[in-house]
């Protein structure tokens, strides 16, 4: 994944083949498939993830969002579902998991999530950056009593995200509360490789074609 001028669009919380087709038709180049999580929206079972992953044509990327942290479990999870990319949502995952994926699933792209809280998040991101294909900066709260590992709909402090983008050798996706009315500001502030969204393009839990079209148009205008 090389850094590019116009940010790529990753639509997360895809729940069906129909939603996948809709997202791709409106400009998504990557789709997020959410497996079991301690909290948050969009969770589907692994059988559904497998079905969607098989139905999505290249070059559209399918991201398995996994909360697994043990190396063998992570590798088995992504290989079982057939996703082209694994998104590690727990930012405490470290070198053992990255090495296991490189060794046993070399064709799978690895994206490490970092939940941006403060300046310490910058160093956490930079420690991961040289070992993974991309970073994804989100607004979760891993330290909460019920862990939040994404899908909060909250915006974090983009100043930290911009610093990560400027210093990271790996491409960076920006997530967290992005909508049509703030994506332009977000892109100008952070300059990410890609943007990731879920709740900002949904109505009553379903992917909303009008909201996604408006988001893509706002991104293009930015």
Q: Which residue has better confidence, 142 or 128?
A: 128
3-state secondary structure of 179: coil
For residue 38, the model assigns a pLDDT of 81
The answer to whether the CB of 85 falls within 8 A of the CB of 53 is: no
Task: State the Cα–Cα distance between residues 43 and 39, nearest whole angstrom.
Answer: 9
Radius of gyration (C-alpha) of the chain in whole angstroms: 16
pLDDT digit string, tens, across residues 157-184: 999 999 999 999 999 999 999 999 999 9
Residues 66-77 as b or e (16 or more Cβ within 10 Å = b): bbbeebeebbeb
Task: State the Cα–Cα distance between residues 158 and 139, nearest whole angstrom.
Answer: 10
Cα 171-82-28 angle, rounded to 5 deg: 45
List the single range of 109-113, 138-142, 144-148, 154-158 with lowest mean pLDDT: 144-148
For residue 149, the model assigns a pLDDT of 66
Task: State the Cα–Cα distance between residues 121 and 76, nearest whole angstrom.
Answer: 28
Interval 184-196 mean pLDDT: 97
Mean pLDDT across the chain: 92
Neighbours of 96 (CB within 10 A): 13
Q: pTM, whole model, 2 decimals?
A: 0.92
What's the count of helices (H) and strands (E) in the chain, helices before strands? Answer: 8, 10
């Amino acid at each position: 994944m090389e850094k590019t001028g116009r940010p790529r669009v990753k639509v997360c919380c895809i729940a069906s083949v129909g939603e996948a087709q809709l997202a791709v038709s409106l400009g998504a180049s990557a789709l997020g498939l959410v497996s079991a999580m301690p909290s948050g929206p969009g969770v589907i079972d692994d059988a559904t993830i497998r079905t969607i992953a098989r139905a999505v044509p290249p070059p559209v990327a399918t991201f398995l969002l996994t909360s697994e942290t043990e190396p063998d479990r992570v590798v088995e999870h992504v290989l079982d579902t057939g996703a082209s990319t694994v998104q590690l949502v727990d930012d405490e995952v470290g070198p053992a998991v990255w090495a296991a994926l490189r060794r046993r699933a070399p064709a799978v792209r690895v994206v490490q999530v970092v939940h941006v809280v403060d300046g310490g998040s910058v160093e956490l991101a930079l420690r991961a950056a040289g070992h993974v294909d991309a970073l994804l900066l989100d607004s979760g709260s891993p330290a909460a009593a019920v862990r939040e590992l994404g899908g909060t709909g909250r915006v974090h402090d983009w100043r930290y995200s911009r610093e990560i983008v400027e210093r990271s050798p790996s491409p960076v996706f920006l997530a967290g509360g992005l909508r049509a009315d703030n994506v332009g500001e977000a892109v100008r502030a952070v300059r990410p490789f890609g943007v990731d969204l879920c709740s900002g393009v949904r109505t009553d839990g379903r992917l909303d074609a009008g909201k996604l079209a408006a988001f893509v148009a706002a991104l293009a205008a930015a």
